[in-house]
């Protein structure tokens, strides 16, 4: 069984992944901005008092919170062998943005790129000490092609994909295997305003959770670096 850090697990993809892996018996450490968001849910720490489950405050824009989360996880689990990066934000910032939108660009950079970078850095030495360490990053199809006019979101996801490639390069000889999952539309709160595409035809969070579970069971010789998940025809990749 693995010792897993999961960011962004209060809802959506991260929550589905956490629920599945917890049910499978892994030790799960969740980093969340607001612990209250988990109250009266299956991930409520008051309802999961096992030594294999931990909830810790984590803000992707705060470097200190990353270190504290990693340190508490090591204290509790005595190791970390997997990170699953799900924390992310969505902004509709266009190329020709308004002056008052500069903070949106800064925020999306901090959360979508620097957050995973810093958390990976803080946990790196523990990954290197573990057996068959893994990093899974929820990127997006927007990290493979820019579609429409969502400049800041695509920018952050392209940068995140580049970061994944460097994680793979740096970690390969240490046994660290990295997978960048790049879904199209996923049926989450982030896509709730998408009216032109039926929710039932979107990628479902439980399917991504199943993919993550399968990835963690593969031998190091067969771990894919990139998984593009298509719920509609993509002609640019």
Q: What is the pLDDT along the chain (237 residues), one digit of tens a residue?
A: 999 999 999 999 999 999 999 999 999 999 999 888 999 999 998 888 788 999 999 999 998 999 999 999 999 999 999 999 999 999 999 999 999 999 999 999 999 999 999 999 999 999 999 999 999 999 999 999 998 899 999 999 999 999 999 999 999 999 999 999 999 999 988 777 666 789 999 999 999 999 999 999 999 999 999 999 999 988 765
Nearest 5°: phi and psi at 75?
-60, -35
**CATH number for the domain formed by residue range(s) 3-229:** 3.40.50.720
112's torsion region: left (phi>0), alpha (psi -120 to 50) or beta? alpha
CB 182 within 8 A of CB 141: yes
Q: Token match 């790129």: residue?
A: 113
What residues are annotated to the active site? 153
- What are the b/e assignments for 37-59, b being 16+ CB within 10 Å? ebeeeebeeeebeeeebbbbebb
- What's this model's pTM, rounded to 2 decimal places? 0.96
Q: Token match 């049910």: residue?
A: 23
- What are the b/e assignments for 85-94, b being 16+ CB within 10 Å? bbbbbbbebe
């Amino acid at each position: 069984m693995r010792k897993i850090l999961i960011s962004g697990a209060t809802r959506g993809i991260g929550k589905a992944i956490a629920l599945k892996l917890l049910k499978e018996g892994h030790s799960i450490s969740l980093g969340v901005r607001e612990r209250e968001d988990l109250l009266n849910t299956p991930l409520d720490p008051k309802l999961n008092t096992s030594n294999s489950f931990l909830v810790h405050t984590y803000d992707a824009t705060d470097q200190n919170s990353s270190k504290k989360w990693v340190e508490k996880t090591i204290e509790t689990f005595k190791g970390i062998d997997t990170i699953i990066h799900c924390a992310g934000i969505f902004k509709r910032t266009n190329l020709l943005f308004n002056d008052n939108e500069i903070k949106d660009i800064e925020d999306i950079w901090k959360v979508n790129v620097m957050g995973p970078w810093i958390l990976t850095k803080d946990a790196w030495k523990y990954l290197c000490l573990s057996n068959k360490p893994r990093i899974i990053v929820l990127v997006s199809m927007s990290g493979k092609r820019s579609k429409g006019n969502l400049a800041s979101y695509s920018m952050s996801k392209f940068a995140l994909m580049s970061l994944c490639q460097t994680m793979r390069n740096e970690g390969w000889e240490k046994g660290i295997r990295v997978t960048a999952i790049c879904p199209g539309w996923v049926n989450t709160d982030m896509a709730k305003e998408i009216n032109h595409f039926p929710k039932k035809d979107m990628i479902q969070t439980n399917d991504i959770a199943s993919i993550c579970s399968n990835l963690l069971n593969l031998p190091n010789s067969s771990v894919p670096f990139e998984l593009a998940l298509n719920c509609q025809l993509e002609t640019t990749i």
